[in-house]
Amino acid sequence: MTDTPGTSRATEPGTDPQAPEWWRSGVVYQVWPRSFADSDGDGVGDLGGVISKLDHLERLGVDAVWLSPVHASPMVDNGYDISDYQDVAPEFGTLAQLDELVAQAHARGIRVVMDLVVNHTSDQHAWFRESRSSVESPYRDFYWWRPPREGHVGGEPGAEPTNWESFFSGSTWQWDEATGAYYLHLFAPEQPDLSWENPAVRQAVHAMMRWWLDRGIDGFRMDVVNLISKRVVPGTPGLADAPVPPGAPPGSYAAPGDETFNGPRIHELLAEMHREVFAGRDAGLVTVGEMPGTTIEHGRLYTDPARAEVDMIFTFEHVDLDSGPGGKWDLRPLELPRLKATLDRWQQGLADVGWNSLYWSNHDQPRPVSRFGDDSPQHRVRSATALATVLQLHRGTAYVYQGEELGMTNAPFATIDDFDDLESVNHYRERVARGDDPEQLLAALRVKSRDNARTPVQWTAGRHAGFTTGEPWLAVNPNHVEVNAESQYDDPASVFSHYRRLIALRHDEPVVARGDFTLLLPEHERLWAFTRRADGVTLTVLAHLSDGELDPVAEGVVASPGAEVVLTNEGTAASAYAPLGPWAARVLRSQD
């Protein structure tokens, strides 16, 4: 590739500690390494693959890469089960290659943020092997060991210390014969939860984090970090049952809420981590906490700079709107006014204190163009670019998940054998065993399975989309013939080219990071319109999120004289307030 990146970046890594935080106008690109690019033909993406695609990221103009875990791992949860925090999984490469990736990214002005998975380890981690070996082990209290419920025999149904249901189906408690006790795992049994009540755990994790920062990485995305403080009730076993929904059969498991989310010591633990790990280091470092089940009230506390906990958080409200009371597989239609209102509430809630993260997708979510847009050939490009425009012009740090910048879609999974992810497969098996209709279960998996995000990135129209010279670990989406990076680079109308212009606008127009946010026509079911204002500059964003045509002025948008179109996905620039075609997005700029 010969052309220069979309724009210059605000600050180069490690140069000016006084410069305003780069991430306020910045864009972070998430790499999920298993499916990004394979450099050695084993069908699994790797660090060599990431290095080989740095041109792509530079051309896109992103400020940082967030690398999902590449640590040593038995890969029960595709790397979110870490067996050694200070080594790289052989299938991904070596520590030396990771150092090289950091050096090469930095040379291009791109920072590297690592995943930090410390709510739990792998059951193969040395700490857990030690811990389960004996009640006398110095590592015993690194994890949550509990006796069976009173009056029960360990291992029999109903003997679990609490009734908590795992994120990945079944109980959160695993009976361990060796020492005759249960251990806690909010996720898979191979992902035992660390006990953050134990100061030795905290010290070990802080030391590991400092080791990574000393190696030159630029921050952490912290996996489910608001789950690390469990609500310990004085007395034994010290953890309380979760309320069972009305009508649930006796003995049912229940998803824990307050018992595990945003627990009593969470703010103290994050402040301590900040003190022990980040204080006195380069101001260019960034931290983002993944925080399901978090309210605005907590969000303000987590991200208030004066409290020094984390820079920003990933919230989940907007990606839960298409789920019913039965959880993520209980599909509900998405209503645009609710989606707008959710983002608006977070904009207002964190306007004076704290900071938002803006995302449509990641490795756990379906593809946004299929979920919020229209992925038919006719509307795919327009709807992908309209959605990107709306999201990234809210106030906050924008995140792009690999392939989103190409308008990649959900995959055409036919049978249960096409799915890989343990969340999907466990859920299907559990419900089929309970007598649910397999076809209905599959229909929900097709819409929501995490595997939708995990099909290989589509680089070319060729064999396996240029992802690997071998056999890909998960099938490539057959639409790579149409949807691929190579065909988009030099096409100004492509999704990639639009993302590039949008990222450049975020960097070049200070109002995007600084400006206030006003939602227009909140109840409108097809138009997403808002303004951003600062220092006499107004950006007006108009996005028509449906088929057909829409006249913004007739719908109630007040035209501001002298407004110029600074970005559009309509090809030839329409005039500022002209009717919007199907899935058209337009950004107007005016000055007082």
DSSP structure class, residue 28: E
Q: Which of 292, 466, 472, 515 binds ligand TEU (CB under 6 A)?
A: 292
Which residues in 414-433 contact ligand TEU (CB under 6 A)? 423
The widest CA-to-CA distance across the chain, in whole angstroms, is 77
Q: Which of 364, 404, 405, 420 binds ligand TEU (CB under 6 A)?
A: 364
**Separation of alpha carbons 86 and 212, rounded Å:** 8
Which residues in 205-244 contact ligand TEU (CB under 6 A)? 223-224
DSSP structure class, residue 485: S
Which residues in 312-331 contact ligand TEU (CB under 6 A)? 328
* Backbone phi and psi for residue 389, each to the nearest 5 degrees, phi listed first: -60, -45
- 3-state DSSP call for residue 71? strand
The least distance separating ligand TEU from the CB of residue 343, rounded to whole angstroms, comes to 18
Partners of residue 251 on adjacent β-strands:
none
- One-character DSSP codes across 535-590: TTEEEEEEEE-SSS-B-TTTTTPPP-TT-EEEEESSSSPPPTTSPB-TT-EEEEEE
Place of tokens 């030690």: 130
Burial zone of 129 (CB within 10 Å; 0-12 exposed, 13-18 middle, 19+ buried): middle
- Is position 185 an interface residue for ligand TEU (rule: CB under 6 A)? no
The least distance separating ligand TEU from the CB of residue 262, rounded to whole angstroms, comes to 13
Element holding 157 (H helix, E strand) = none
Between residues 84 and 555, which has the closer beta carbon with respect to ligand TEU?
84
Which residues in 246-275 contact ligand TEU (CB under 6 A)? none
* Contact code string over 449-488 relative to ligand TEU, x by CB under 6 A: -x--------------------------------------
Between residues 442 and 550, which has the closer beta carbon with respect to ligand TEU?
442
The least distance separating ligand TEU from the CB of residue 423, rounded to whole angstroms, comes to 6
**Separation of alpha carbons 155 and 176, rounded Å:** 8
Between residues 228 and 269, which has the closer beta carbon with respect to ligand TEU?
228
**Separation of alpha carbons 210 and 208, rounded Å:** 5
Q: Which of 22, 139, 183, 187 binds ligand TEU (CB under 6 A)?
A: 187
Q: Cβ contacts of residue 452 below 8 Å, gap of 6+?
A: 365, 366, 367, 370, 410, 411
The alpha carbon of residue 561 and the mean position of all alpha carbons in its chain are separated, in whole angstroms, by: 39
* Backbone phi and psi for residue 550, each to the nearest 5 degrees, phi listed first: -145, 130
Between residues 154 and 292, which has the closer beta carbon with respect to ligand TEU?
292
Between residues 401 and 528, which has the closer beta carbon with respect to ligand TEU?
401
The least distance separating ligand TEU from the CB of residue 314, rounded to whole angstroms, comes to 9
Q: Which of 76, 117, 269, 336 binds ligand TEU (CB under 6 A)?
A: 117
- Is position 193 an interface residue for ligand TEU (rule: CB under 6 A)? no
Alpha helices by DSSP H, 108-179: 126-133
* Contact code string over 140-169 relative to ligand TEU, x by CB under 6 A: ---------------------------x--
Between residues 450 and 506, which has the closer beta carbon with respect to ligand TEU?
450
* Backbone phi and psi for residue 71, each to the nearest 5 degrees, phi listed first: -70, 165
Between residues 218 and 223, which has the closer beta carbon with respect to ligand TEU?
223
# binding residues, ligand TEU (CB under 6 A): 14
Question: Comparing C-alpha atoms, which of 221, 241, 217 is closest to residue 231?
Answer: 241
Catalytic residues: 223, 290
Between residues 170 and 216, which has the closer beta carbon with respect to ligand TEU?
170
* Contact code string over 55-94 relative to ligand TEU, x by CB under 6 A: ----------------------x--x--------------
Cβ-proximal residue to ligand TEU, closest one: 80
Output the CA–CA distances (angstroms, integers) from residue 412 to 403, 445, 452, 471, 475, in the order listed.
Answer: 16, 11, 9, 18, 10
- Is position 570 an interface residue for ligand TEU (rule: CB under 6 A)? no
Residue 506 near residue 27, CB atoms below 8 Å: yes
Could you list the residues that contact ligand TEU (CB under 6 A)? 77, 80, 117, 167, 187, 223-224, 290, 292, 328, 363-364, 423, 450
